[in-house]
């Protein structure tokens, strides 16, 4: 099984390309290819404070989505320079983040816009996680 790392610029480029391809595949499966979806990478000190807070101490993805204009950005974030992912882990992140886009017309309306609303954040994440795992055909 391939393990993806992000220590060097070359590894980051390959990881970024692979992750962007996964996002495209899942965007097609979920019917959101008409959206303008960008994929960005943040590693180590490059991870913004806002994204660090959203990640809650874990590596993973963060998505911003604007359903009105059908634009979104998916960030793959590694809090440490020596982070590594398996292909399955990367696909889970990609699917999860594309589900955020798919559900954003509902979740953005439901959202109060307050970053500190614990219950709202946990509810949205639980729905997105269950949906992404159902689409992938597996549960923990």
If you average pLDDT over every residue of the chain, what do you get?
90
Predicted confidence at residue 132, as pLDDT, reads 93
**Strands in 1-140 per DSSP E:** 3-5, 36-43, 60-66, 71-78, 84-86
Give the span between the Cα atoms of 73 and 64, in whole angstroms.
5
Residue 13 pLDDT level (bands cut at 50, 70, 90): very high
Predicted confidence at residue 6, as pLDDT, reads 84
Predicted confidence at residue 15, as pLDDT, reads 94
Residue 30 pLDDT level (bands cut at 50, 70, 90): very high
Q: What is the mean pLDDT of residues 45-57?
A: 91
Predicted confidence at residue 116, as pLDDT, reads 59
What pTM does this model have?
A: 0.90
Task: Indicate the domain borders of the chain.
Answer: 3-135
Q: What percent of the chain has pLDDT over 70?
A: 93
| Position with higher pLDDT, 122 vs 49 | 49
Q: Which residue has the tokens 């692979």?
A: 18
Longest dimension (CA), the chain: 41
Predicted confidence at residue 112, as pLDDT, reads 59
Domain spanning 3-135, CATH class: alpha beta
């Amino acid at each position: 099984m391939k393990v993806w790392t992000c220590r060097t610029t070359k590894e980051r480029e390959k990881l970024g390309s692979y992750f962007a391809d996964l996002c495209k595949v899942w965007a097609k499966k979920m019917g959101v290819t008409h959206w303008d979806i960008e994929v960005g990478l943040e590693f180590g000190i490059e991870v913004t404070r806002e994204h660090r807070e959203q990640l809650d101490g874990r590596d993973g993805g963060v998505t911003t989505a604007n359903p009105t204009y059908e634009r979104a950005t998916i960030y793959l974030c590694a809090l440490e320079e020596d982070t590594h992912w398996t292909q399955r882990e990367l696909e889970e992140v990609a699917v999860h983040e594309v589900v955020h886009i798919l559900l954003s017309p509902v979740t953005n309306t439901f959202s109060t816009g307050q970053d500190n609303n614990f219950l709202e954040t946990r509810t949205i994440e639980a729905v997105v996680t269950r949906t992404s795992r159902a689409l992938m055909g597996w549960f923990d």
